[in-house]
Structure 1
Amino acid sequence: MCQLLGMNCNVPTDICFSFTGFQKRGGATDVHADGWGIAFFEGKGVRLFLDPQPSAQSPVAELVRNYPIRSLNVIAHIRKATQGIVSLENTHPFQRELWGQYWVFAHNGNLPQFQPELDGSFLPVGDTDSERIFCWLLQSLRSRFDDVPPAREALFDALHELTTPLAGMGIFNYLLSNGDSLFAHCSTELSYIVRHAPFATAHLKDEDVMVDFSEVTTPNDRVAVIATQPLTDNEPWITMPPGSLWLFHDGEVVAHRLTLPSPFKSLSGS
């Protein structure tokens, strides 16, 4: 399956350290070699890098690793293809506009039975189940709230309702952000860590690199990092229970709720 990486902060932060280890999982320390991508929210914009080449050998990934882009929300993905050919249009994360906001989505899993009816407001460009799910989620949110973007709590409630039935249909790990918050669903495997004062030294698992966060942060900084598997080997990562949806805002967990698997019902267009 694929690899996910997310970051949510209370101050703009670069993800160079985490991405250094994550990059190696795309064909070096792991077998995920079918493309990679990363999205940085910057103000109202999104800086998106995609490459269908393995991240461990990608010159674009090298640029990202050495380019300290500061962001409040970041989503990255390394692909191991299950549906759709290896191509740029099938490379995660996917990006769409809703309510005058950019939304970014990345998925680790496989839902071959989910074939929702799309009304044309959001359509896949590629042929992955992941992009189809993303289009359906946004279509459903727009149908539910019309032209008025909901408050953060109401959005979390809606995503919980939409996610829960799909959680029983297959592997459905995902990261989703609108630039304000980051939503994470653990279907089988996700972990997170919240770094805050007093900051300590961290050591990557996939490459012999260390950083002393006390030297590059302020006492008020707070950074949450979410990954399919922990990126460091000397920090207390928290394993998310399978079947749980999480809301991160300002670098901390704001809410989490179980998404117990339920039988598939008619979900088309709602």
Structure 2
Amino acid sequence: MCELLGMSANVPTDIRFSFAGLVRRGGETGPHRDGWGIAFYEGRAARAFHDPQPSARSDMARFIGAHPIKSGIVIAHIRQANRGRVALANTHPFAREIWGRVWTFAHNGQLRGISALPLDFYTPIGATDSEHAFCWMLDQLRQRFATLPPPQALDREIAALSLRLARLGVFNMLLSDSRTLYAFCGKKLSCLTRRAPFGEATLIDEDRKVNFAEETGPNDCVTVVATGPLTSDEVWTPIKPGTLLALRDGRVAASIFSEPMAGERSQEIKKANRKAARC
């Protein structure tokens, strides 16, 4: 399985601290050695970096870690291949244009029978079930809306599409249209929000600590979403499976829970539903 990292902030923010923890899991502290990618938004556009090499040994990952690219929305992914060979075309996050905006998408999990979902306008470049799911979602949005809809309408539609994909297997997802960072939990995602008063944080995967009080302003608000907690001394909240979070300007603008239909979830997911809390 892969790992995800997303960030939404109300001011352009440096994600290098969290990214450093994720990178170590790509071949050192974790098995996710089959490529990595990261996308930083700037307005409607996004600059992206991809590498099929393990992130823990990637010169490009070290370059990102040494340069503070500040952004309001970031999506990152480290891959453990299950469908599609290790190749640049199969590294997340994937990107496409719709309504004059760059959309980016990263996925953790496996989707059975995804190839049966018909595609129209968008075509995968690689061979992953993830990219097929992304193309299908954008096709559905193009059919539903002729122009960019209000955020609230988009929130509801993306929640419904995410639930349909989650019925095919495990669907943990990060998606953005440059306005909103969407995080759908099919099985496992956690989040935390950093706001004043800021404190210190220590990475789990690297001997590194930061005092956010020295790095942020009093009105800053940043929400980080990850497959698993990246720090040992902050409170990470599990996102309830079946929930879509819509993050705007660092805050949870909407939390949409979709109760799965009977028989469509495993006992493991149902047990997680009872234990996990909303973010």
Q: TM-score if structure 2 supplies the norm length? A: 0.92
Aligned to 1:163: 162
The alignment's C-alpha RMSD in Å is: 1.1
Q: Is 1:116 matched with 2:121? A: no
% identical equivalent positions:
52
Answer yes or no: is the 8 Å Cα contact 1:36–1:77 preserved in 2. yes
206-215 or 241-250: which moved more? 241-250
Aligned to 2:15: 15
| Residues 65-115 of structure 1: CA deviation (Å, up to 9, x unaligned) | 111001000000000111111100000000000000000000000102122
3-state SS of 2:171 partner = strand
Aligned to 1:267: none
Aligned to 1:94: 94
Q: CA deviation at 1:261?
A: 3.0
Q: Is 1:179 matched with 2:178? A: yes
What letter matches 2:90 in structure 1?
Answer: N
Aligned to 2:270: none
Answer yes or no: is the 8 Å Cα contact 1:183–1:245 preserved in 2. yes
Following superposition of structure 1 onto structure 2, how do residues 2-41 of structure 1 map, counting pairs within 5 Å? 2-41=2-41
Give unmatched runs, 5+ long, in structure 2. Answer: 265-279
What is the distance in 2 between the residues matched to 1:46 and 1:108?
Answer: 21
Answer yes or no: is the 8 Å Cα contact 1:168–1:260 preserved in 2. no
3-state SS of 1:139 partner = helix
Q: CA deviation at 1:190?
A: 0.4
3-state SS of 1:18 partner = helix
What is the distance in 2 between the residues matched to 1:6 and 1:29?
Answer: 20
Aligned to 1:203: 202
Q: CA deviation at 1:255?
A: 1.1
What is the distance in 2 between the residues matched to 1:169 and 1:45?
Answer: 31
What is the distance in 2 between the residues matched to 1:35 and 1:118?
Answer: 26
Answer yes or no: is the 8 Å Cα contact 1:201–1:211 preserved in 2. yes
Q: TM-score if structure 1 supplies the norm length? A: 0.95
What letter matches 1:108 in structure 2?
Answer: N
4+ aligned runs moved over 6 Å, structure 1:
none
What letter matches 2:241 in structure 1?
Answer: P
189-198 or 239-248: which moved more? 239-248
Q: 1:261 to 1:168 in 2, by over 3 A?
A: farther
Answer yes or no: is the 8 Å Cα contact 2:133–2:165 preserved in 1. no
What letter matches 1:231 in structure 2?
Answer: L
Aligned to 1:217: 216
Q: Is 1:238 matched with 2:237? A: yes
Give unmatched runs, 5+ long, in structure 1. Answer: 265-270
Aligned to 2:192: 193
Q: CA deviation at 1:28?
A: 0.4
User: How many residues of Structure 1 are paired with residues of Structure 2 in the alignment?
Assistant: 262
Aligned to 1:268: none
Answer yes or no: is the 8 Å Cα contact 1:167–1:260 preserved in 2. no
Q: CA deviation at 1:243?
A: 1.6
Answer yes or no: is the 8 Å Cα contact 1:203–1:211 preserved in 2. yes
What letter matches 1:4 in structure 2?
Answer: L
3-state SS of 2:109 partner = strand
Q: CA deviation at 1:160?
A: 1.3
Q: CA deviation at 1:44?
A: 2.6
3-state SS of 1:192 partner = strand
Answer yes or no: is the 8 Å Cα contact 1:6–1:227 preserved in 2. yes
Aligned to 2:125: 125
3-state SS of 2:113 partner = coil
